Amino acid sequence: MTVTERRQSLPSAPISASKARAFVESALAGAGLEHLAYTATLLVSELVANAVLHSGTPLEVVVQCGDGRARIEVHDGNPALPVRKHYSNLSGTGRGLLLVERLASGWGSERTAGGKLVWFELDARSVPAFDILDVEAI
């Protein structure tokens, strides 16, 4: 199996979410995994937004593709690992990690020498984001 890897550095700024989406979409298209792009761009937006909000450090997005699957990582300089919180359905925040948990075939986080990385994987088992019908359950 051949795995390709692409990396992009981003500032800790709101514009980084849209830059990360474009980067991930391009990387997946280059690997022939366009069918994963909708879900991948949604999830990377959530992770980048969390990193901007909670770390305040420069970010790096890493996309690894191979064998019909993709792994997307968001690295930042804050060593605190994310914890999924349980918010009210009326809350305007707190659904990012729940989306990742529900849509990815796997996800997690790890401390690194310079902070942490949060990752998710998508493959044929992943739930397409546009197939979710009960948005209030998220």
User: pLDDT (tens digit, 9 = 90+) per residue, 85-133?
Assistant: 666 555 555 568 888 988 999 999 999 999 999 999 999 766 666 555 4
What is the residue range of 62's domain? 4-137
Total domain count, the chain = 1
Q: What is the mean pLDDT of residues 13-40?
A: 96
Confidence of residue 29 (pLDDT cuts 50, 70, 90): very high
Residue 133, both tokens? 């019908």
CATH code for the domain in which residue 48 is found: 3.30.565.10
- The residue-averaged pLDDT of 32-53 equals 94
Which runs of E-coded beta strand occur in 14-105?
59-66, 69-76
Q: CA 106 to CA 114: how far, in whole Å?
A: 23
- Distance CA(28)–CA(73), nearest Å, equals 14
Mean pLDDT computed over every residue of the chain: 88
Question: Higher-confidence residue: 127 or 11?
Answer: 11
pTM, rounded to two decimals: 0.87
pLDDT at 83: 82
* Section 45-49 average pLDDT: 95
Amino acid in position 106: G
| Residue 135: per-residue pLDDT | 47
Report pLDDT for 138: 46
